[in-house]
Amino acid sequence: MKRLFSIVIVVLILLIAASCTVPDVSEGNTPPVPPAQSDPEAEDRKDPLEAKAESLLVGMTIEEKAGQLLIVGFPGDTKKEALQDYIDRLKVSGFILFSRNYTDFDSLYALARSLKEMNSLNNPLPLFISIDEEGGTVSRLPKGGTRFPDARKVGKAGEPGLTYKAGQTIAKELKAAGINLNFAPVLDIVESGENKLLIKRSYGSTPEVVSLHGTSFISGLQSEGVTAVPKHFPGHGNTNQDSHSTLPVIDTDKAAMQSRELVPFKAAIDAGLDAVMVGHIAFPKLDPTGLPASMSSYFLTDVLRKDLGFGGISISDDIEMQGYISSKDTVEECVISSFNAGLDIFLIGHTKAIQDQVYKALLDGCRDGRISEERLNESVLRIIKAKLKNGLTDAMEYEIEEAKRIFGSDEHKAILEELNGDTGTFLLSR
């Protein structure tokens, strides 16, 4: 049965991958578009989700809109008053949690519940509660959770059905803890072991393998209502440099990128995707500005939106990384540049002063005209729609006792052992 399920998924994914060569952005002048006319009947035919999102947008203040552009992290010793400030003053879209923020499942559950309760009192939209849970090398689940192997081992197993189950199981455990967004999986294609940052975290060295397992993992996550955020668009695999400490520069040309790096992202978008993480990587042959993709209108708008047809949320990799802030521009200038280029959400995982700077830059930009109201509303509407579509609320999915029965359950351990049997390894859950 397992083999049959896998064969079906292989066929489906290969059909997607076969159509994933990305076309060029169309060139030449386009005819002028006549102004839109009001059509009451069209309003009545509007998708209910779209109509509700637009209704929520109209009722939001500029401060609430600017706050929706931030996902923030905080130190482990942060007081409740400081967390309340994120919610009351900055109106943040969400939080990213790290192992420093909790010691076990009970404290993780309590933290997520507290953040949601605080937000429910003052903000019009529920929070993204996010984490990095790829499995293996990058795993944030506390002790007792089901820890799956690195993506490289999963890819070598060659069983997309099991990859799907891994994503589904991780989603169940995240949801039990109150987490609704996962910065995973890695869709970078990595051939060289010199890429020490990503060699274990990538499913493989070919577009086909990464597309197959990446889309399977994403489908597993999303089957349980957890938003997948694959990374690092448009591709961090073809370098041995780490964007945490420098800006990697990759000399890939357009044809190579369309037939390689972009293929897994195209497959994921075609299969249904609400968010993507954009990396801090420069491709000077494609964008002569030398800007990282997270600041580049070429990648954020021309490639991601127009070429790939992506309608969801673009989220930066952490902007405290040197690949982003090593620019000669100030943080404020970088943020305005990124947002106007097409970025929707800034991930700022550590430093309160930088989080405050980014919020102020966005708010000032909206007030003084450097960011247009149309541009602001475009991103906020995408965020609202994603939150509505995935049924986000500020209520916990489970009470604590039920959540603890789900987290690290025997059923989940059995799936881990099934996968470990196929990878030829035996890894106990933590």
The residues carrying an active-site annotation are 244, 317
Read out DSSP for 375-417? HHHHHHHHHHHHHHHTT--SS-SS-HHHHHHHTT-HHHHHHHH
Read out DSSP for 238-254? S-S--TTTS--B----H
Cβ pair 234, 185 in contact under 8 A:
no
Q: Which of 214, 335, 198, 196 is nearest to 268 (CA)?
A: 214
Using CA atoms, how far apart are residues 184 and 191, in angstroms rounded to an integer? 20
72: how many CB neighbours lie within 10 A of its CB? 24
Terminal C-alpha separation, the chain: 29
Phi-psi region of 160 (alpha: psi -120 to 50; beta: other; left: phi over 0): alpha
CB contact set of 74 (below 8 Å; sequence gap of 6+): 82, 83, 86, 95, 101, 352
Q: Which of 178, 281, 171 is nearest to 234 (CA)?
A: 281
